[in-house]
Amino acid sequence: MARALAIAERDEKPAIQEVPAQIPEAGQVRVAVEAASVNGIDAATAAGYLWDLMPHTFPVTLGRDFAGLVQAVGDGVTNVQVGDRVAGVITGMALGKGAIADSATVDAGTTAVIPEAVSSAQAAGLGLVGLTATALLDALKLTADDTVLVSGATGGVGAVAVQLAAATGAKVIGTARPGAAEFVRGLGAHEVVDYTADLGAAVQVVAPDGVTAVVHAAGDPATLAGVLQPGGRLASALGATPEQAGRDDVTVLTAMADATSEQLTKLLEATANGSLQVPVFRTYTFDEAHQAVTDFGNHKLGKLVIIIR
Ligand SMILES: NC(=O)c1ccc[n+]([C@@H]2O[C@H](COP(=O)([O-])OP(=O)(O)OC[C@H]3O[C@@H](n4cnc5c(N)ncnc54)[C@H](OP(=O)(O)O)[C@@H]3O)[C@@H](O)[C@H]2O)c1
């Protein structure tokens, strides 16, 4: 058996409990988890918002990304071996397997060896949000001529997106509620706008002609599309549609995290060489894991990480 933050049955709350331990199948690895992070999908699952939207196989263990030591490998695994410290992401549209557990079983193709300079807490906090931010930036193809608004810059996805956007040479404007501007500037944003007031007016002050690109990691698509110049593009992590954006002279792109060893390795190497920060706002013990999920929507800056061992 394994210990996990899991939901035993429909309409129950998550709690630390024993769940069946998994034997890695071909192409999979089992990892002794050292740290796991909380993502929006965990908060939504815990709140019961996904009961009828995604298939649940009970007990449903929460958590989509983690770092830990490989305990066992299935047939055909060549990219990692027993004893390696790896980061990994659990992908897919089904809920059941999770990362907030003392052991997790995942496809080896969605794991990568963690460089020594990167802590397990950082690696766990980077996985899903780093891959999502990468997909958003890949969709936008920013250049130094762009002015980009990152909406949700104080969150996990947005914090990485601000840094990746700044690295392209584009002018970066990040959103923050009052009191959080310094955090966003510290990630490399040139300007910060208060999204709790009139966002359009605040963007106009710092970008009088509007922006050429928007990273949508939070907020109302129509409001965000409203600050785009004609011909601009909006990349959404929330599946925003052109209809929601409400403009036919801009391009709306959808970005999904593409979990591969190669993408994870790039993000981990950038963290190791200091070009990418993983802002961990708070760490929790395994016993506090449910609290971490509860705290997810409570105005944190960056990531919440659970230290399992
Ligand atoms: N497509 C994919 O593959 C994928 C993968 C992962 C996540 N996602 C989605 O991406 C989104 C971001 O994820 P995350 O992990 O970064 O979530 P998060 O950590 O909760 O970040 C969201 C941030 O947005 C801020 N915010 C709230 N309302 C806002 C508004 N109207 N305008 C601007 N900022 C606002 C929040 O800050 P305050 O409330 O403190 O102000 C918070 O810092 C979520 O919807 C998640 O489901 C998609």
Is 274 among the domain residues? no
Q: Tokens representing 124?
A: 């766990």
Q: Check pocket membership of 179 for ligand 1, CB cut-off 6 A.
A: no
CATH number at residue 72: 3.90.180.10
- Residue 146 sits in the same domain as residue 217: yes
CATH number at residue 157: 3.40.50.720
* Range 7-22 average pLDDT: 95
Is 234 among the domain residues? yes
pLDDT at 130: 98
What percent of the chain shows pLDDT beyond 70?
Answer: 100
pLDDT at 121: 98
Residue 275: other Cβ atoms inside 10 A: 11
- Residue 92 sits in the same domain as residue 184: no
Is 121 among the domain residues? no
pLDDT at 21: 85
What ligand 1 atom has the least distance to the C-alpha of 41? 47
Q: Check pocket membership of 175 for ligand 1, CB cut-off 6 A.
A: yes
Determine if residue 43 is left, alpha or beta; phi over 0 gives left, psi from -120 to 50 gives alpha, anything else beta: alpha
Is 226 among the domain residues? yes
Q: Check pocket membership of 91 for ligand 1, CB cut-off 6 A.
A: no
Average pLDDT over the chain, rounded to an integer: 97
Residue at 171: amino acid letter: K
pLDDT at 296: 98
* Range 153-157 average pLDDT: 98
- Residue 135 sits in the same domain as residue 195: yes
Provide the domain limits for residue 137. Answer: 129-254
Does an H or E element contain 236, and which?
A: strand 228-236
- Residue 158 sits in the same domain as residue 245: yes
- Residue 248 sits in the same domain as residue 284: no
Distance 59 CA to ligand 1 centre (A): 27
Is 268 among the domain residues? no
- Residue 90 sits in the same domain as residue 47: yes
Which of 281, 98, 136, 277 minimizes the C-alpha distance to 218? 136
pLDDT at 193: 98
Q: Check pocket membership of 219 for ligand 1, CB cut-off 6 A.
A: yes
Tens digits of residue pLDDT in 198-209: 999 999 999 999
pLDDT level of residue 14 (50, 70, 90 thresholds): very high
* Range 80-97 average pLDDT: 96
Is 269 among the domain residues? no
- Residue 241 sits in the same domain as residue 173: yes
- Residue 139 sits in the same domain as residue 246: yes
- Residue 249 sits in the same domain as residue 142: yes
**Closest residue by CA, ligand 1 atom 31:** 219
Please say if the pLDDT value at position 86 is more than 90. yes
- Residue 244 sits in the same domain as residue 139: yes
Task: Give the chain's domain count.
Answer: 2
pLDDT at 41: 97
pLDDT at 22: 84
Is 137 among the domain residues? yes
- Residue 298 sits in the same domain as residue 188: no
- Residue 22 sits in the same domain as residue 138: no
Is 273 among the domain residues? no
**Closest residue by CA, ligand 1 atom 2:** 256
Of 39, 90, 215, best ligand 1 pocket probe by most atoms within 8 Å of the beta carbon? 39
* Range 225-240 average pLDDT: 98
Please say if the pLDDT value at position 183 is more than 90. yes
